[in-house]
Structure formats: structure tokens, C-alpha cells
Amino acid sequence: MHEQENFARIRRRGNRREDDTRYDLDAAFAEYAARFGQDTASEAVPHAASGAAPDDPPHGDRWSTWDHSTAGERGPLPRPEWVVTELAAVDTELGVLKTGKEADVFLVERGVPDTGPAVLMAAKRYRDPQHRMFHRDSGYLEGRQDKESRVNRAMAKRTAFGKEVIAGQWANAEFAALSRMWSGGVAVPYPVQIVGTELLMEFVGGDDGAAAPRLAQLRPSPPELTELWDQLRGNLSLMAREGLAHGDLSAYNILVHDGRLVIIDVPQIVDVIVNPNGPAYLERDVRNVGNWFVARGLDSGRVDELAADLLRDTRPR
């Protein structure tokens, strides 16, 4: 029954290429029909008997939102094999992973019913302007300008319209930053897609839905501490060469999964060259997380050395 429902949905909604242009629907329909042994001349209407709405998913919370995003709103290529792009996929919400001042993060499962295991993703949803805190906006938004002066004035004055623009900027800034960092080899969650102010990304954790611990939760041995520091140094160096600073780095927004360090929570990413406060943010990042390492036995001189190296790497050439 689920395959018939998916089959009917494909026929109703069509399919898209990666560049978001429509292609031959009959060919897509025939391919999907062949997959499930359907007759392309028959029209399945599985919802009629149940009285459900035609676009209700067979089970789960919603149809996959993959086709709601355009090519520019999807993650960078080459895309990991685990990313589910089928239009017949269903998104099922499994609970809250984290609540924050600007956004909440939910655990979402995406998969095509009855065709194998689904994948877990983290859905970060930015709150509307009336329910968000804007205490961090002013400094981080330096260098983020709109083409229209009226928009910039509204942002500066924090009008209702200006806050709407800022809310959208946070989500889009994080998606763009994750895409750029992932493409540059930085250990961050893969950004699957963005639709409005919802960002879907790779879930960092176990198959059972248990999120990876934060760096702050760990008590590493001396060899483990050195290994984690070396990973951090390598990732921050890659970011610095891209002219980027995290802007709010600490032991609380770094995850460690199976010994691998992963940087998260980057909506306030700072362009060190464009933002006049960029070098200060970069050095603060190093000091904040470096203090955690020093408190657990790392030589403080290594923190000083890393701060100097990163500031040198981000200077215009």
C-alpha cells in the first residue's frame, strides 16, 4: 500500500533535476512504476477509501521537503551517499535534541517507506523574531550588508521588518558557512538543505539517536587530549585560510564522535577580512577553547602559538 501511495504522489507532483528544472515526467513515472511493478496506465487513488487528504504521507509527519529547496539551497557536491533525495521519502520527527536562544534542534528521520533503513538528520529551526534573542546580532552582522539601503537601515534600527531580515540571515549564514567549511575539508555536519529558516544537516551521533557528547563533557587522557588538540588546530587552520572565524567557539559547540572532533553551531560565522572585529573574534575563539585544554594539561604556549599562526594565516595576501 505504501508503494502505491508513493507511486501516486510521484505522478501528482513530478520530479526535478539537480538544477531544479522539470524533466520528462512520463519517464520518471515509468521508472518509478517499473521499480514497484505498477502499470503506468493505472491511476492509484489509495487515500479515497480512508478519507485522508491526497498529499498526506503514508506514515510519518510530512513528505520530504527535498523538492521544496532549489539547487542553491541544497548541500554542496559531491553529496554523501547517505543523503535521501527521493520525493517519495517521508520525514518523521523523533524529538528535541537541543533548545537555544535563537533556534531549536530536532531529530528527524528521512526515508522511503518499506525500502530499507532511513537516515537520521538534525533539523535546526530558527525562531520567529518575536521569540528570538538578538543579543549577539550587532557585532556579528558587521560586513553582512544587503544591496538595498532601506533594508540595512531596518536591520540597524531593529524594526519588525529588520528583525525578519536578520532571522533569515542567521539561517542562511549558517547554511552557507557549513557548505563552505564542509567543501574546504573542515569537520562540520554536512548541510543537507535549507527551506525558509529550517536547516537540515547531518546528525552527529549513534544510530539509536543518541547525540555525540560535547567536548566539555569529556575527561580525556593525556594522549587523547593531544589528539583532540591536533584535530582542533587543523580545523581552525583550514578555516583561517578561508578567512573565517567561528565567532563563538567553546568546548560546548564542539562534538566528539568516535574520537572525531566536529565543529557545530556556526550562524555567527565571521569573515575575518571584511568584519573589522574579525581578528578579535578569531583570537577569542582560540583562547576560549584553549582554556579548556590548558585546564586539562595542555601547555598554554601551544594556545599562544595557535592564535599567532591563525592571525597570520588570515591576513590579506
Task: Return the active site residues.
Answer: 248, 265
93: Cβ contacts below 8 Å, ≥ 6 apart: 61, 106, 107, 108, 123
Per the CB < 8 A criterion, the answer to whether 65 and 111 are in contact is: no
Rounded to 10°, the helix 222-241/278-295 angle is 170
Alpha carbons within 13 angstroms on the beta-carbon side of residue 256 total 18
C-alpha cell at 302: 601551544
DSSP-derived secondary structure for 213-277: PBGGG----HHHHHHHHHHHHHHHHHHHHTTEE-SS--TTSEEEETTEEEE---TT-EETTTSTT
Across the strands, what pairs with 108?
A: 93, 121
Q: Which distant-in-sequence residues (6+ apart) come within 8 Å of 28 by Cβ?
A: 10, 14, 15
Give the DSSP per-residue string, 157-217: HT-HHHHHHHHHHHHHHHHHHHHHHHHTT-----EEEEETTEEEEE--B-TTSPBPPBGGG
Rounded to 5 degrees, what are φ and ψ at 245?
-130, 145
Burial of 81 per CB tally in 10 Å (0-12, 13-18, 19+) = exposed
Query: How far apart (Å, rounded) are the C-alpha atoms in residues 245 and 238?
Result: 10
- Say how far apart CA 317 and CA 198 lie, in whole Å: 36
